[in-house]
């Protein structure tokens, strides 16, 4: 583990699926690095391979070929339990549909990653409360998801992603189920988190959102076709800044 190296390092990542008798290349030789404190968007049409890439970066899936390192850990050949622990420590997930547990309070939802880490109850409680306050929900801790608005639910989900102090916040279409005003609030929250030094990776098909990110990567047919400032990569039709 090299503390001053890149946080994420992908080298020649490929992912093949067997569909019937055909082999589909969802990712084909993807290489890039993400430094600590970066805010990066991965954009692309559906079918471009961005979901597959997100699953691999999130350690939910492992590549068929190439090397992927998170915070110095090579995921190749890792056992399922080790991957689960890696997700717990290094990755905070934010999903398009929030994915909160409906029967649990906001606080219990946020505590969950710490349960899986084996922290004592009191510490879990304190850290979950702090995380909810950090996303502006200090007064909604004991509400259940169905008592919260869409924007509030996504804030709970972000608090849950942050509570374990992961290296990377991985968000999949985080504004996809929100109206534009609420979506804007969430983007502001991301900006704030970025300014506080968090590393963020957004997967989205919305150019508008990618344009707000300092850096963006465009995928097409499983390959990186653009990697550069968000505004430029988001603008469709402009020449690729860097080709991989």
Sheet holding 39-43, edge to edge: 91-94, 168-172, 199-204, 39-43, 215-220, 223-228
223-228 and 215-220 beta bridge pairing: antiparallel
Which residue stretch of 58-66, 132-140, 179-187, 228-236 sits at the interface with other proteins (rule: CB under 8 A)? 58-66
- Least separation in angstroms between residue 240's CB and other proteins is 29
Q: Which pair of tokens denotes residue 31?
A: 């290489």
User: d(Cα 18, Cα 75) in Å, to the nearest integer?
Assistant: 22
Residue 119 near other proteins by CB under 8 A: yes
Pairing mode, strands 22-34 and 8-19: antiparallel
Q: Where are the beta strands (DSSP E) in the chain?
A: 8-19, 22-34, 39-43, 65-70, 73-74, 91-94, 168-172, 199-204, 215-220, 223-228
Is there binding between residue 113 and other proteins (CB under 8 A)?
yes
Stretch that binds other proteins, among 25-33, 117-125, 173-181, 218-226 (CB under 8 A): 117-125
- Closest approach, Cβ 62 to other proteins, in A, equals 11
User: Is residue 42 classed exposed, middle or buried when 0-12, 13-18 and 19+ CB atoms within 10 A define those classes?
Assistant: buried
Smallest separation (angstroms) from other proteins to the CB of 166: 10
Residue 92 or 230: which CB sits closer to other proteins?
A: 92
Per DSSP bridges, beta strands 22-34 and 91-94 are unpaired
- 109-117, 204-212, 216-224, 227-235 -> range binding other proteins (CB under 8 A): 109-117
Nearer to other proteins, 85 or 191 (CB): 85
Q: Does 84 bind other proteins (CB under 8 A)?
A: yes
Site stretch for other proteins (CB under 8 A), options 53-61, 138-146, 186-194, 218-226: 53-61
Q: Counting every residue, how long is the chain?
A: 244
Q: Is 244 in the site for other proteins (CB under 8 A)?
A: no
Query: Contact residues for other proteins (CB under 8 A)?
Result: 55, 58, 60-61, 80-81, 84-85, 87-89, 91, 93, 95, 99, 101, 103-104, 112-113, 115-121, 124, 160, 164
């Amino acid at each position: 583990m090299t503390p001053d190296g890149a946080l994420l390092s992908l080298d020649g990542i490929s992912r093949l699926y067997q569909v019937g008798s055909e082999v589909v290349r969802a990712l084909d030789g993807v290489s890039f690095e993400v430094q600590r404190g970066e805010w990066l968007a991965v954009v692309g049409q559906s079918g471009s391979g961005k979901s597959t890439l997100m699953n691999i970066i999130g350690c939910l899936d492992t590549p068929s070929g190439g090397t992927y390192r998170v915070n110095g850990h090579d995921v190749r050949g890792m056992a399922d339990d080790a991957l689960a622990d890696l997700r717990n420590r290094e990755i905070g997930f934010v999903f398009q549909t929030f994915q909160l547990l409906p029967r649990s309070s906001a606080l219990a939802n946020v505590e969950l990653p710490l349960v899986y880490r084996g922290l004592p109850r009191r510490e879990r409680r304190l850290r979950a409360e702090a995380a909810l306050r950090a996303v502006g929900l200090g007064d909604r801790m004991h509400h259940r998801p169905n008592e919260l608005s869409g924007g509030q639910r996504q804030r709970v989900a972000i608090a849950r992603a942050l509570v374990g102090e992961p290296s990377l916040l991985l968000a999949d279409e985080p504004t996809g189920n929100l109206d534009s005003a609420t979506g804007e609030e969430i983007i502001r929250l991301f900006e704030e988190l970025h300014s506080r030094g968090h590393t963020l990776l957004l997967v989205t098909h919305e150019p508008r959102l990618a344009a707000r990110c300092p850096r963006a990567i465009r995928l097409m047919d499983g390959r990186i076709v653009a990697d550069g400032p968000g505004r430029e990569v988001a603008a469709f039709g402009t020449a690729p800044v860097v080709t991989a």
